[in-house]
């Protein structure tokens, strides 16, 4: 709850009333007394419980429709990006290869060795059409906080190397290609992906405006490097399945 702004009096009173009315009447009396005598502990419990993700899960349990609501002071939602179905297997180590020659399928100027080490053998089977969500960073931030904001909005964050490559195929020559979702002005396009061992990694791609070509990097998702405003972030649309 600490990511939001302070509640207005009316909202606070309404929330307090709903909370009191929702307290279980069959709670063990000793447990109720222990909670009553430990306000600091109760505050921690409520802060951890009253989240957007928990609310959405409860609404889904009740059979109510939940639309994604990513309310973020760091990210601004731009649009959704629909990626075409892929009819063949995707092998990252075969696709992410440096090639800046004229006529190359995708002009790639650099591939981080960690990308191949972590994802090279993560083969993706043919997939149906997929939908991603596109955001722009509005202020300087590390990677973990704005990905947490997406998750707190009830939206899945993980994408795949195949989906990144599909987007690069739409813009194989950067600014010389037709317009697409990826930034081609040198700014980073950021993704969170699980590597071949299921470890969350940060993958980012940018078009090198000096030498020309896509530069693709991979790093730990938890690293503290801070990303500037104007960079982009992509997450999965909650209704789009993750590629196998």
Tens of pLDDT, residues 152-174: 888 888 999 999 999 999 999 99
Whether residues 19 and 81 share a domain: the answer is no
In a domain, residue 63? The reply is no
Confidence label for 81 from pLDDT (cuts 50, 70 and 90): very high
Whether residues 38 and 81 share a domain: the answer is no
**Residue 91, Cβ density class (10 Å: 0-12 exposed, 13-18 middle, ≥19 buried):** middle
Q: Average pLDDT, stretch 62-90?
A: 82
Whether residues 196 and 98 share a domain: the answer is yes
191 phi and psi angles, rounded to 5 deg:
-140, 150
Whether residues 79 and 197 share a domain: the answer is yes
Q: Find, among 185, 182, 178, 147, the residue nearest to 164 by Cα.
A: 182
Whether residues 82 and 194 share a domain: the answer is yes
Most confident of 46-50, 170-174, 222-226: 170-174
Element spanning 146, H or E: helix 143-152
Whether residues 88 and 45 share a domain: the answer is no
Whether residues 22 and 143 share a domain: the answer is no
| Total tally of structural domains belonging to the chain | 2
Whether residues 92 and 165 share a domain: the answer is yes
Whether residues 87 and 163 share a domain: the answer is yes
Most confident of 27-36, 68-77, 119-128: 119-128
Q: Average pLDDT, stretch 58-62?
A: 77
In a domain, residue 4? The reply is no
Give the domain range for residue 34. Answer: 9-50
In a domain, residue 70? The reply is no
123, 165 in Cβ contact below 8 A?
no
40 phi and psi angles, rounded to 5 deg:
-65, -40
pLDDT score of 131: 94
Whether residues 125 and 186 share a domain: the answer is yes
Q: Are strands 158-159 and 189-194 parallel, antiparallel or unpaired?
A: parallel
CA 31-37-43 angle, to 5 degrees, is 90
Whether residues 142 and 24 share a domain: the answer is no
In a domain, residue 67? The reply is no
Q: Which two tokens stand for residue 199?
A: 């470890």
3, 73 in Cβ contact below 8 A?
yes
In a domain, residue 61? The reply is no
Confidence label for 44 from pLDDT (cuts 50, 70 and 90): confident
Whether residues 164 and 214 share a domain: the answer is yes
């Amino acid at each position: 709850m600490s990511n939001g702004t302070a509640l207005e009096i009316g909202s606070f009173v309404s929330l307090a009333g709903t909370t009191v009315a929702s307290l279980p009447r069959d709670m063990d009396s000793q447990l109720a007394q222990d909670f009553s005598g430990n306000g600091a502990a109760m505050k921690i419990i409520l802060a951890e419980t009253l989240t957007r993700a928990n609310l959405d899960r409860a609404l889904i349990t009740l059979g109510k429709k939940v639309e994604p609501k990513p309310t973020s002071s760091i990210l601004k939602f731009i649009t959704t990006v629909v990626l075409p179905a892929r009819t063949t297997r995707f092998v990252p180590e075969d696709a992410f290869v440096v090639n800046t020659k004229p006529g190359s399928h995708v002009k790639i100027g650099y591939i981080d060795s960690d990308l191949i080490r972590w994802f090279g053998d993560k083969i993706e089977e043919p997939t149906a059409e997929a939908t991603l969500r596109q955001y722009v960073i509005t202020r300087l931030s590390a990677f973990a906080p704005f990905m947490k904001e997406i998750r707190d909005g009830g939206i899945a964050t993980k994408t795949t190397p195949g989906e990144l490559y599909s987007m690069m195929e739409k813009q194989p020559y950067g600014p010389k290609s037709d317009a697409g979702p990826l930034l081609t002005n040198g700014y980073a396009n950021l993704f969170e992906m699980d590597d071949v061992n299921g470890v969350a990694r940060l993958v980012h791609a940018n078009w090198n405006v000096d030498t020309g070509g896509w530069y693709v990097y991979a790093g730990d998702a938890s690293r503290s490097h801070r990303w500037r405003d104007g960079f982009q972030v992509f997450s999965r649309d909650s209704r789009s399945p993750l590629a196998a």
